[in-house]
Structure 1
């Protein structure tokens, strides 16, 4: 259910995120900065129109999209990708298609489990996971 995602989520933990960022071609300095960021995510939902904000002391990133419609996204590290979000079985699934030959496609699954927001990502066979708790 889409409404489960709505609201603020505070960063809790991360697994293998640096290796994932390497797999999609993020440079060393940007990876170090991203690994130290503890972002708060804000989900706003209005029908099929979604906004996801990633807020941190280092950088704020906003992604606005309509479910099931491909759009050009600029990632937090500045890459241009073609993204599509779908909502399937309570999971917000995202496919990021690389637009440059030397970059890799990525997939993300966002879902709620045990009151936590879980984000699983994969690129080039490398998997990572980030966990968020609902903000008070």
Structure 2
């Protein structure tokens, strides 16, 4: 279940994120900020099974609430309006975003106690690594 993702996570590394942002169409100025930002992720689940993922940084805080396998409208940190579906696939929490005829996937999985996030757009893959706080 999603329970293993619950907690507060601090980013410790980010690889290839600029190329990923370029691939999804993020402008230069926003990419500059995105490259310098090291957000914390807070993941929680309520009694109804609604999952909340909050990304918090000095630059911007975003929050999505969803139930697995149920499409919802998302406004991303770079202000894209996407149709998003979250699924659990072999222990990975997979976020599929579609907008303007484009599609990207964000895969989150726990490996060796770390939260590994892969942002995938075509053949461009960014990897962001988080460790649990507390």
Under a length normalisation based on structure 2, what TM-score does the superposition of the two structures give?
0.95
Q: Which residue of 2 aligns with 1:29?
A: 29
Alignment of 1:73-112 (within 5 A): 73-98=74-99, 100-101=100-101, 104-112=102-110
Q: 1:11 is matched with which residue? A: 11
Query: What is the distance in 2 between the residues matched to 1:124 and 1:112?
Result: 23
Runs of 4+ more than 2 Å apart:
none
Which deviates more, 39-48 or 3-12? Answer: 39-48
Gaps of 5+ in 2: none
| Cα offset, 1:30, TM superposition | 0.3
Alpha-carbon offset, residue 28 of structure 1: 0.4
**Which stretch has the larger CA shift, 74-83 or 87-96?**
87-96
**1:21-73 deviation line (CA, Å, top 9, x unaligned):** 00000000000001101100000113531000000011100011111001110
- Deviation, structure 1 residue 124: 2.7
Unaligned 5+ residue runs, structure 1? none
TM-score, normalised relative to structure 1: 0.94
RMSD: 1.1
Provide the rounded CA distance (Å) in 2 between the counterparts of 1:105 and 1:87: 18
